[in-house]
Homo-oligomer: A and B are copies of this chain.
Amino acid sequence: MTGNRVLVVDDEPGLVTALSINLRVHGWEVGAATDGAQALDMAARWHPDVVLLDLGLPDMSGLDVIAGIRGWSHVPIVVLSARQHGEDKVDALDAGADDYVTKPFAMDELLARLRAAVRRAAPVDAADDAVVEAGDLTIDLARRRVHRSGAEVRLSPTEWAVLETLVRNRGRMVPRLQLLQEVWGPAYSNETGYLRVYTAQLRRKLEADAAHPRHIITQPGMGYIFET
């Protein structure tokens, strides 16, 4: 029901390990990054439900990491910092962070803030039904399963990511840029070839007549749209 993937970003391996153990005990799936570049890469590829970010990173400013993620994603970001005072808080929140926790912190407060951050973000995504029907297609967004005329259709992770993005925005056009960024990450904004390949594969698996699709519709020059 609740999202459970947290990306921990901290340059101190000991703290990352300690946090990971604690978070896993409380049911989180944990991913880790020790510098800003890794963090951006993980955020793009792994799609965490919340990012726990230490501002003191070796390779780039924490604010740049926030900006780098906010450029294409609305995933909640909880900032973790040793500095008790100063304008860090203000800057981080204004840069797009969702919450701020100062070291030292109580574990249960951190957990509560993570839960709150995920819960706040939830309504945006979870507003739609878990199961979407479209003609002879049945798409279960929660279970990540697709059935066509009752038979299960096997989708690769990328195929599913493309379909999920389209289905969550069903009835409305999804711009190419948004699709690329949500599935492949912000560095792939120009790889329109990917979209051609994967829409074709999805049509082959899901459409009765791939040459005349009824669900995955191209809006030339703009993007794609999923029709129920």
Which residues of A does B touch, CB under 8 Å?
74, 85, 87, 89-90, 93-94, 96-100, 106, 108-109, 111-113, 115-116, 119-120, 123-124, 127, 140, 142-145, 156-157, 160, 171-173, 219-222, 225
Are B98 and A120 interface neighbours, CB within 8 A?
yes
Q: What residue in chain B is nearest A91 (Cβ atoms)?
A: B112
Are A123 and B124 interface neighbours, CB within 8 A?
yes
Are A220 and B89 interface neighbours, CB within 8 A?
no
Are A160 and B90 interface neighbours, CB within 8 A?
no
- With both chains docked as a complex, state the minimum distance between the C-beta of A34 and any C-beta of chain B, in angstroms: 26
Are A108 and B120 interface neighbours, CB within 8 A?
no
- With both chains docked as a complex, state the minimum distance between the C-beta of A2 and any C-beta of chain B, in angstroms: 12
Are A173 and B157 interface neighbours, CB within 8 A?
no
Point out the residues of chain B lying under 8 angstroms from A219, CB to CB. 144
Cα distance A113–B94 in the bound complex, in angstroms: 8
Q: List 26 A-B contacts (CB under 8 A).
A: A74-B123, A85-B106, A87-B108, A89-B109, A89-B113, A90-B108, A90-B111, A93-B112, A93-B113, A93-B116, A94-B112, A94-B116, A96-B119, A97-B116, A98-B116, A99-B99, A120-B120, A123-B124, A124-B124, A140-B172, A143-B173, A143-B225, A144-B173, A144-B219, A156-B221, A157-B220
Cα distance A78–B190 in the bound complex, in angstroms: 40
Q: What residue in chain B is nearest A100 (Cβ atoms)?
A: B113
Cα distance A204–B87 in the bound complex, in angstroms: 54
Point out the residues of chain B lying under 8 angstroms from A112, CB to CB. 89-90, 93-94
- With both chains docked as a complex, state the minimum distance between the C-beta of A170 and any C-beta of chain B, in angstroms: 10
Point out the residues of chain B lying under 8 angstroms from A116, CB to CB. 93-94, 97-99
Q: Given A90-B108, A222-B157, is A143 in contact with B115 using a C-beta cutoff of 8 Å?
A: no
- With both chains docked as a complex, state the minimum distance between the C-beta of A133 and any C-beta of chain B, in angstroms: 18
Point out the residues of chain B lying under 8 angstroms from A74, CB to CB. 123
Identify 8 new A-B residue pairs, CB closer than 8 A, beyond the known A98-B120, A100-B113, A140-B172. Answer: A87-B108, A89-B109, A90-B108, A93-B112, A93-B115, A93-B116, A97-B116, A145-B173
Are B157 and A144 interface neighbours, CB within 8 A?
no
Point out the residues of chain B lying under 8 angstroms from A90, CB to CB. 108-109, 111-112
